[in-house]
Structure 1
């Protein structure tokens, strides 16, 4: 797939099933994330791989968080099963005199995007989700996040179960001004 075709035609897919990337394909996806822009070479991210029994463990964590935070526990415990594989991307900023934390969090966000693009380039699809579970102190604790870390996304990956719609057209003139 040509790079420009990939960038201009990628579209998220919420209905995913097996097969999911594994082995070398999955390593390629993670390596793409590690190539995200990274001012200072700080690698301000880390990933948690969730598949198989891990999806059930994550479902339990989500249910626990929803119960404690007055959310919908029934819905929460089904969320991890939206795809056969999830990569949780965590911003893990480092103290640095020249690289502010916001740049490092944005870098982790770029890692999510790069991984989704790498999955798409290999014939898979995915969706980058956040929502209440990404901001839950219970989820953060149960996943072992340090005080300075935050979840920037749950990257759900698998094979699309529906025909993926063509991305909506956004005329650049509505978003670009000239100085």
Structure 2
């Protein structure tokens, strides 16, 4: 069994609206399609409910994709953050409290997302699983499943789309 964590494709950013509502940028479709060959032909597929993730999953497979609300990204207010990478790093440094007003504490995100992923892995034991979602959430999941601290350098280097594989 292999777990494939797909980060969504590049979104169409709409300033003033929460990132959780952004659609996939049509200009990123080719980048998303390029991932198809790196994913298993047969797998259990699930996605975050955020539009950019659902749309990424729809481009990656012709099969059924379950939508799991708990796979959504680290919840953040819709305010534009100039130093977004710095704010996320602060969230990782102090996961028990919000990095900014309106942000979910990272511990709460970790608990929610890891619990959902572990349920999927339990139900689909022995099968390949593809989950389509988000960079911060997948950084937390990869750390939990490997027993390592979150890899913030890998988080910073993640492309849109990108793939993290956990055996």
**Would the TM-score normalized by the shorter structure come out above 0.5?**
no
Q: In proportion to residue count, which structure has more strand?
A: 1
Higher radius of gyration, 1 or 2: 1
Structure-1-length-normalised TM-score: 0.25
